[in-house]
Structure 1
Amino acid sequence: MHFTVKTITFFAAMIATTHAAPANSTVTRSVKGWARFCDDANCSVNCGISVNVENPGCLIERGRGSVLYNGPYLGGIALLASPGEGCGCQSSCVPHFWAISGDNTCFNLEDNPGSSYRFIHGGCPANNCE
């Protein structure tokens, strides 16, 4: 197969465009998945907006019963629960949250209740709420 310089240049430009980050973006990692907290245990009632599991920010989700996960099986994400609304301490943790979740998988929070949650990379640190 024979390609001209013009054709090769065109394909190179297309590849660069499809892989380029937005101009104002500082994101360097790809998204591993998205999660939505829901009120019931079956991920069907009053589900919130999707959040990126790569974002370690505190999510105030008091009274939620489940998390709906959308994304591939990729490694290194844990879900931490805190009884307070500011993620000030850790009362429980779901290690390898990604391993028990898959695309469109519902995870019941019955054993990991909290008022706030956050996703972190790596395993679970020790619980530290008194």
Structure 2
Amino acid sequence: MVKVTSIILASGALFHSAVATTYAQFCNDNNCEEGCGGSVSVDNSACLVENGRGRPSQSVKFHDTNFGSVSLIATNNDQCSCQAFCYPHVVKALATSNDCLDLKDPLHNFKSFRFVNVDLAGGCSTDENTCDGSVQ
């Protein structure tokens, strides 16, 4: 009975680590150290709007990184209605390196962001910029 319980507990621990998520915080500097907002799960594809932060985010700090592949899509409006720029596989790339993504231009001027799970939703659009009116 003890052996069965140990196996069940070990299986539960492995399953829990397999579904672990990654969290992101948008920060006001390029080094993920100043003015970081609240943590959001990258598994949630909801629109993250920059209104009220006082200034555009300069970087994104990731923590509890897993090995899933998530892309960050930026939009030049506050509705996440298109893709003005996409950083592909941002979480997968950071899982083996730094946990801070410097949002180099042109991202500093964008007003909203959303994370997209590459495995579930396909990631970045094949069109570099879908905000030009041709694709919405």
Q: Which residue of 1 aligns with 2:112?
A: 116
Q: Which residue of 2 aligns with 1:11?
A: 6
Partners of 1:97 and 1:117 lie apart in 2 by 13
Partner amino acid, structure 1, of 2:116? I
Partners of 1:18 and 1:79 lie apart in 2 by 29
1:7-42 CA-partner distances (Å, limit 9, x unpaired): 245436645776899xxxxxxx82341111001111
SS across alignment from 2:91: helix
- Quick one: percent identity of the two aligned structures? 31
In the TM superposition, residue 72 of structure 1 has moved relative to its aligned partner by 3.5
Q: Check conservation: 2:23, 2:65, Cα contact below 8 A.
A: no
Which runs of structure 1 show a deviation greater than 3 angstroms over 4 or more consecutive aligned residues? 8-21
Unpaired segments ≥5 residues, structure 1: 1-5, 22-28
Query: How does 1:100-111 map onto structure 2 within 5 Å?
Result: 100-102=93-95, 105-111=99-105
Count of residue pairs brought into register by the alignment: 118
Identify which of 30, 35, 42 aligns with 1:53. Answer: 42
Greater helix fraction, Structure 1 or Structure 2: 2
Partners of 1:129 and 1:96 lie apart in 2 by 21
CA-atom RMSD in angstroms: 2.6
Q: Which residue of 2 aligns with 1:92?
A: 85
Q: Which residue of 1 aligns with 2:130?
A: 128
TM-score normalised to structure 1 length: 0.74
Which has the larger Rg? Answer: 1
Partners of 2:48 and 2:31 lie apart in 1 by 20
Q: Which moved more, 1:48-57 or 1:97-106?
A: 97-106
